[in-house]
Amino acid sequence: MDTCAAEFGVDTPYLYSSYETESEAAPTDRRKVMILGSGPNRIGQGIEFDYCCVQACWALQDLGYETIMVNCNPETVSTDYDTSDRLYFEPLTLEDVLDIYEAEQPAGVIVQFGGQTPLNLTKPLQAAGVPIWGTAPDAIDLAEDRGRFGALLAELDIPQPANGIAANLAEARQIARQIGYPVLVRPSYVLGGRAMAICYDEAMLESYVAEAVAAAEGRGLLIDQYIEDAFEVDVDAVADGRQVIIGGVMQHIEEAGVHSGDSACVLPPYKISYYHLNTIHEYVRQLGLAPGVRGLMNVQFAIKDDIAYVLEVNPRASRTVPFVSKATGLSLARVAAQIMAGKTLAELGIDTEPKIDGFFVKEAVLPFKKLPGAINTLGPEMRSTGEVMGHAAHFGHAFAKAEMAAGTALPLEGAVLISVNDFDKGSASKIARDFHRMGFQLLATRGTARFLAHAGLPVQAVNKVSQGSPHVIDYVRRGELALIVNTPLGRDAYSDGVALRREAIRYNVPLLTTLSAASAAVAGIRALRQSELKVRSLQEHFGRGTLRTSALESRL
Amino acid sequence: MPKRTDIHTILVIGSGPIVIGQGCEFDYSGTQAIKALRREGYRVVLVNSNPATIMTDPELADATYVEPLTPEILEQIIVHERPDALLPTVDGQTGLNLAVELAARGVLARYGVQLIGASLNAVHLAEDRLLFKEAMQRAGLDVPRSGLAGSIEEALEIAGEIDRYPVLIRPSFTLGGAGGAIAFDAGDLEEKVRFGLRESPVHTVLIEESVLGWKEFELEVMRDRNDNFVVVCSIENLDPMGVHTGDSITVAPAQTLTDKEYQRLRDQARTVMSTVGVETGGANVQFAVNPADGRVVVVEMNPRVSRSSALASKATGFPIAKIAALLAVGYTLDEIPNDITKVTAAAFEPSIDYVVVKIPRWAFEKFPSVDPTLGPQMKSVGEVMAIGRTFKEALQKGIRSLEIGTPLLSPPLAGEGLGERLKHLLAIPTHQRLFALHAALTAGWDQPEICRLTGFDPWFVAQVSQLVALERELAGYSLASFIAGRVIAGRWPGRRPLGSRARGPAAPPGGRHPSHLPSGGHVRR
């Protein structure tokens, strides 16, 4: 593609394939490397991976490589004509990729940055003799194969939730009984938690299995012990086979059970002890070294009581890499690309975890408003389309900024409606007290109201929809609510709460569906009432000279 | 004209989080514009709340604010950075809305910030559907009959004047057509208008004559201060009017227009640009054409970089966002070199000797309770673009690119009552309509009947029927002969002996060759 239908000879066209009598690709004889992009945006695989591909592309260009980008997504920077040296606008299937590989003969192919799409091609590409750069395909398989991964954890003496793989319903029942309910079930090899669910009893498991076995495409169902009431932590790290450097440790604001892509998270962690942080560091180091990770890795933990359980290790770019990079000023994807090209962390002068100044909160943005009828609670299946970041010296301000950026600014006054399930009633009274002290008027559905009144709080009881007008939704519609705390019952998604949450979303009333998010909101509101929000550019934040810059500026 | 030297610092407002209707295409266009401005020596200040973007990489802009996109926060940043200018047209509706808001609040005037690349009047005219319609009529262009309603009573009255259901409801100033709907009778209208009025930040909705089922075309155009004008690309929607263009399968260049019809759209697009008053920059102009009588109406225009312009840029190699940024700082189209050819200028219209197909990617599997019917409110979360020598080739590459578990147009659509289901799937647009088209042709359905149900142009239906015929022919060969050659069905293995690898001499079957777009307007200096 040259803009002129070959009327002029051109230097920098981009390319597509067709069955024709000759190839016009005219590959060069430079040192070159091929980067596989992430294909169409979808929930669970979006712009974050494009960011990683582009960072890798720039890093490798700086090392003198000719970069070849393969992608079919027209919305991206990776498919801009001047991002890579050679752009192939092609589907990311084995055949298409091999055609390009054979035409270009690059020194290697990078599959780590584009999400699951290129990762799924790793094995067949390797089988076709294509050199895969970075973490070896076998190590990727080790992390994704439950059996091998479990064996590795056992060998390293790292705890993980009890788990098993079932090929059919009978096996699923047996495993779940052994583990004990609730269990988290999902198909293997699926990104974004598709078709993932928490089953509280056998009946739920049975109704789930029929649907999920199809999504698993014959590769089995993963069944895990679901650790209730745990803190979840995400770690992004980079490793070179000798050393593992943690880029950032993020604490989820929603508890484990909400998909990491839909949970708000904060960097650095604000509620985790040094003891647990040290454990996490040590586990990540071991999990990076043992399989020989070369490049990026992401590890997810659930922390409950004294134990840090490893939920997942992904030896590839994760969704949070750009967030961590913006918060720390260290481009992890760039470092990973340099490692893949043979550099070591020592050579790159990266020997410590970057320090974080202040707090960075990432909040997910959900599409419920655009998709009327969608089930609107958070769960183990990812459904957000985008994200925002808020940063400030204090956690409260950072959280308030993130909520504001997500389009649901926290209120400074007004009425708060609290309607929580029975498990949450105890903790809800503390949050209600905080709102009361800040001058908010308290409204609650009858059960919750009784509980709050019992705790000595002035609260106005409001009808649920099923109890007749005027009910909670009338309050939403009349614009009388400034904020809603509504924690649904895990096993009953079709309760009164659904309609309430739907109306809240429609009328843009800030809605918190977990108590941990509600207490973060309390911190945010308190901070907003104490002092105004301030802004600071990333360059001021990091200080101009300290950013590790690429040769991008010289290329401008 | 040389670039402006009276401005030094330029503020760019990003589009915030990825949402349905405003995706990462604005990271692409914004990044391109920032690079172009910095290359020209300007200091660029960027504000975007989305940390996943490439544009917020601290290397890209001179000052990068990952902060909430609210007028208050932007004012703080303006106070701190004191930009000379604000470029609001390279980053989607969010940035443009904020620029309008900052101007309305007097912030821009207070701190001496000039809007570049767009005038408030032009933005206002393009976005206010009623003003736009009136302006188009004054310029002698045809538009769908419509009226603006601020209440349900007014809406019913306007629908009465139009005198034919269905009618469209389009809330003013919303993203991705949020709150938009089609009403099939008065009761339906009431309910949908109530919702639309709430969705609109100014609480008005446009009630519009339905051009449902008409053919939909878009022209991506650019204009400079010397009134040079280029059409970057024409885009034809396979799905007729009624489906949001973000949810439509689209083809570039337009395939079913005669040269005469195309020239007519081109002239009208130029009139739209000058009528709206876009002095410099890019815009997207949408047309509907009645297949029965050829009546052309102007549907809307976006005086900014859009999802379609991102696609047009990728489909042609013409970097619309970059050129828009350079036009905004004073260059003219003939002064901006084409980076790919190095010998031509941006005043040269791209020529296309291939066919591009864009197919949306939906996520209904994540939202099983959501109605997958496609309408004026966009529902897709991503898209793929495929390039081929023919429409058929590009279409099949597009399907392959989607990663939806089928490399072909024919995923399993079978079973009991298929006939009735197919009829339904053809008549009501969903993510499955393309596959239903294939299934109906495979089942031997009559092409005119399919055209009637879908509103697809007969040319597209004929193309897919050629694919079906080809598949039938290939089915006569043994599977082993394919496997031996790493062939993925849908690529034409040519007339070479089957069983060898599908490489080398082979022409794509049949297929009309894409026509070249006429190139180059006259350059005025």
The answer to whether B136 and B275 have CB atoms below 8 angstroms apart is yes
The answer to whether A415 and A482 have CB atoms below 8 angstroms apart is yes
A405 and A433 fall within a common domain:
no
What is the structure's pLDDT at B508? 35
What is the structure's pLDDT at A549? 53
Q: How many CB pairs under 8 A join A and B?
A: 315
B257-279 burial: b if 16+ Cβ within 10 Å, else e: beeeebebbbebbbbbbebbbbb
What is the structure's pLDDT at B509? 36
A206 and A244 fall within a common domain:
no
Question: Could you say which of A46, A326, A382 has the minimum Cβ distance to residue B66?
Answer: A326
Mutant choice from B385, B396, B517 vs A, greatest count of A C-beta within 10 A: B385
A215 and A339 fall within a common domain:
no
Residue A439 neighbours by CB distance under 10 Å? 10
SS3 track for B435-478:
HHHHHHHHCCCCHHHHHHHHCCCHHHHHHHHHHHHHHHHHCCCC
Does residue A322 sit at the B interface (CB-CB below 8 Å)?
Answer: yes
Kind and range of the H or E element at B124? helix B120-127
Q: In chain A, positions 357-386, which contact chain B (CB-CB < 8 Å)?
A: 362, 365, 367, 369-375, 381-383, 385-386
Residue A91, in any domain of the structure: yes
| Whole-angstrom distance, CA of residue A113 vs CA of residue A58 | 13
3-state secondary structure of A79: coil
Higher-confidence residue of A216 and B89: namely B89
The answer to whether A491 and A197 have CB atoms below 8 angstroms apart is no
A193 and A255 fall within a common domain:
no
What is the structure's pLDDT at A375? 75
Minimum Cα–Cα distance from A390: chain B residue: B67
A219 and A318 fall within a common domain:
no
The answer to whether B54 and A53 have CB atoms below 8 angstroms apart is no
Peptide linkage before B253 cis (omega within 30 of 0): yes
| Whole-angstrom distance, CA of residue A267 vs CA of residue A402 | 13
What is the structure's pLDDT at B505? 31
Higher-confidence residue of A213 and B352: namely B352
Question: What are B270-287's pLDDT values in tens digits?
Answer: 999 999 999 899 999 999
User: Long-range contacts made by residues B420-427, C-beta under 8 angstroms, separation at least 24?
Assistant: B423/B453, B426/B450, B426/B453, B426/B454, B427/B453, B427/B454
Give the closest-approach CA distance of B314 to chain A in angstroms.
Answer: 6
* CATH number, residue A495: 3.40.50.1380
Residue A288, in any domain of the structure: yes
Residue A515, in any domain of the structure: no
Estimate to the nearest angstrom the gap between the alpha carbon of A472 and the chain centroid. 33
Q: In chain A, positions 99-138, which contact chain B (CB-CB < 8 Å)?
A: 117
The answer to whether A312 and A257 have CB atoms below 8 angstroms apart is no
Question: What are B373-421's pLDDT values in tens digits?
Answer: 998 889 999 999 999 999 999 999 999 999 988 777 776 566 667 788 8
Residue A1, in any domain of the structure: no
Question: What are B203-262's pLDDT values in tens digits?
Answer: 899 898 889 889 999 999 999 999 999 999 999 999 999 899 999 999 999 999 999 999
* CATH number, residue A129: 3.40.50.20
Q: In chain A, positions 439-468, which contact chain B (CB-CB < 8 Å)?
A: none
Average pLDDT for residues B122-145, to the nearest whole number? Answer: 91
Minimum Cα–Cα distance from B77: chain A residue: A535
What interhelical angle do B259-276 and B129-138 show, nearest 10? 120
3-state secondary structure of B164: coil
Strands A197-199 and A221-225: unpaired
Give the closest-approach CA distance of B202 to chain A in angstroms.
Answer: 15
| Whole-angstrom distance, CA of residue B84 vs CA of residue B71 | 17
| Whole-angstrom distance, CA of residue A335 vs CA of residue A550 | 11
| Whole-angstrom distance, CA of residue B203 vs CA of residue B55 | 34
Residue A481, in any domain of the structure: yes
3-state secondary structure of B271: helix
The answer to whether B321 and B90 have CB atoms below 8 angstroms apart is yes
Average pLDDT for residues B162-186, to the nearest whole number? Answer: 82
Contact B371 A373 (CB under 8 A): yes
Peptide linkage before B166 cis (omega within 30 of 0): yes
What is the structure's pLDDT at B166? 87
Does residue A50 sit at the B interface (CB-CB below 8 Å)?
Answer: yes
Does residue A82 sit at the B interface (CB-CB below 8 Å)?
Answer: yes
Taking contacts as CB-CB distances below 8 angstroms, the residues of chain A near B407 are 93
Give the closest-approach CA distance of A515 to chain B in angstroms.
Answer: 24
Residue A154, in any domain of the structure: no
Give the closest-approach CA distance of A67 to chain B in angstroms.
Answer: 17
- Domain limit, last residue, from A225, A250, A266: A225
| Whole-angstrom distance, CA of residue B226 vs CA of residue B218 | 24
Q: In chain A, positions 195-234, which contact chain B (CB-CB < 8 Å)?
A: none
What is the structure's pLDDT at B53? 97
Determine the structural domain holding residue A117 and report its residue range: 14-133
CA angle, B389 as apex, B385 and B391 as ends, to 5°? 65
- Domain limit, last residue, from A198, A225, A252: A225
The answer to whether B411 and B435 have CB atoms below 8 angstroms apart is yes
Does residue A80 sit at the B interface (CB-CB below 8 Å)?
Answer: yes
Give the closest-approach CA distance of B351 to chain A in angstroms.
Answer: 5
A382 and A473 fall within a common domain:
no
What is the structure's pLDDT at B511? 30
Burial (CB < 10 A; 0-12, 13-18, 19+), residue A500, is buried
| Whole-angstrom distance, CA of residue B6 vs CA of residue B9 | 10
Residue A4, in any domain of the structure: no
What is the structure's pLDDT at B520? 33
Contact B384 A385 (CB under 8 A): no
Per the structure, the count of domains in chain A is 4
What is the structure's pLDDT at A70? 98
Residue B524 has pLDDT above 80, yes or no: no
The DSSP symbol for A255 reads: P
Per-residue pLDDT of chain A (556 residues; tens, 9 = 90+): 888 888 888 877 899 999 877 888 889 999 999 999 999 999 989 999 999 999 999 999 999 999 999 999 999 999 999 999 999 999 999 999 999 999 999 999 999 999 999 999 999 999 999 999 999 999 999 988 878 999 999 999 999 999 888 888 888 899 999 999 989 888 766 555 566 778 888 988 888 887 665 555 556 788 989 888 788 999 999 999 999 999 999 999 987 778 888 889 999 998 889 999 999 999 999 999 999 999 999 999 999 888 999 998 999 999 999 999 999 999 999 999 999 999 999 999 999 999 999 999 999 998 888 887 787 777 778 889 999 999 999 999 999 999 999 999 999 999 999 998 887 888 899 999 999 999 999 999 998 999 999 999 999 999 988 888 889 999 998 999 999 998 876 544 445 677 888 888 888 899 988 888 999 999 999 999 999 999 999 999 998 655 545 556 666 6
A279 and A295 fall within a common domain:
yes
Question: Could you say which of B39, B51, B384 has the minimum Cβ distance to residue A73?
Answer: B384
- Domain limit, last residue, from A116, A133, A150: A133
| Residue B43 backbone class (left: φ over 0; alpha: ψ -120 to 50; beta: rest) | beta
| Whole-angstrom distance, CA of residue B244 vs CA of residue A370 | 13
Does residue A540 sit at the B interface (CB-CB below 8 Å)?
Answer: yes
Average pLDDT for residues B42-61, to the nearest whole number? Answer: 96
Does residue A389 sit at the B interface (CB-CB below 8 Å)?
Answer: yes
Mutant choice from B9, B24, B195, B392 vs A, greatest count of A C-beta within 10 A: B24
Give the closest-approach CA distance of B259 to chain A in angstroms.
Answer: 18
* CATH number, residue A202: 3.30.1490.20
Residue A147, in any domain of the structure: no
* CATH number, residue A358: 3.30.470.20
Residue with tokens 């589009």: B15
Question: Could you say which of B28, B311, B387 has the minimum Cβ distance to residue A80?
Answer: B28
Estimate to the nearest angstrom the gap between the alpha carbon of B461 and the chain centroid. 22
Contact A80 B32 (CB under 8 A): yes
Tokens of A480: 């009388």
Enumerate residues 6+ apart whose C-beta is below 8 A from A162.
A178, A179, A180, A224, A225
Instruction: Look over chain B and give the mean of its residue pLDDT values, rounded to a whole number.
Output: 87
What is the structure's pLDDT at A546? 52
Residue with tokens 């139009």: B162
Contact B57 A55 (CB under 8 A): yes
Query: What is the percent of chain B with per-residue pLDDT over 70, rounded to a whole number?
Result: 89
Residue B512 has pLDDT above 80, yes or no: no
Contact A506 B516 (CB under 8 A): no
Enumerate residues 6+ apart whose C-beta is below 8 A from B389.
A18, A20, B354, B355, B508, B511
3-state secondary structure of B8: coil
A239 and A364 fall within a common domain:
yes
A205 and A109 fall within a common domain:
no
A185 and A42 fall within a common domain:
no
Taking contacts as CB-CB distances below 8 angstroms, the residues of chain B near A366 are none
Residue B490 has pLDDT above 50, yes or no: no
A172 and A96 fall within a common domain:
no
Higher-confidence residue of A266 and B129: namely A266
The DSSP symbol for B339 reads: T
A69 forms beta bridges with: A35, A87
Enumerate residues 6+ apart whose C-beta is below 8 A from A537.
B45, B63, B64, B65
Residue B486 has pLDDT above 60, yes or no: no
Contact B77 A323 (CB under 8 A): no
What is the structure's pLDDT at A218? 58
- A108, amino acid identity: G
A395 and A421 fall within a common domain:
no
Contact B508 A41 (CB under 8 A): no
Minimum Cα–Cα distance from B54: chain A residue: A51
Question: What are B305-344's pLDDT values in tens digits?
Answer: 999 999 999 999 999 999 999 999 999 999 999 988 888 8
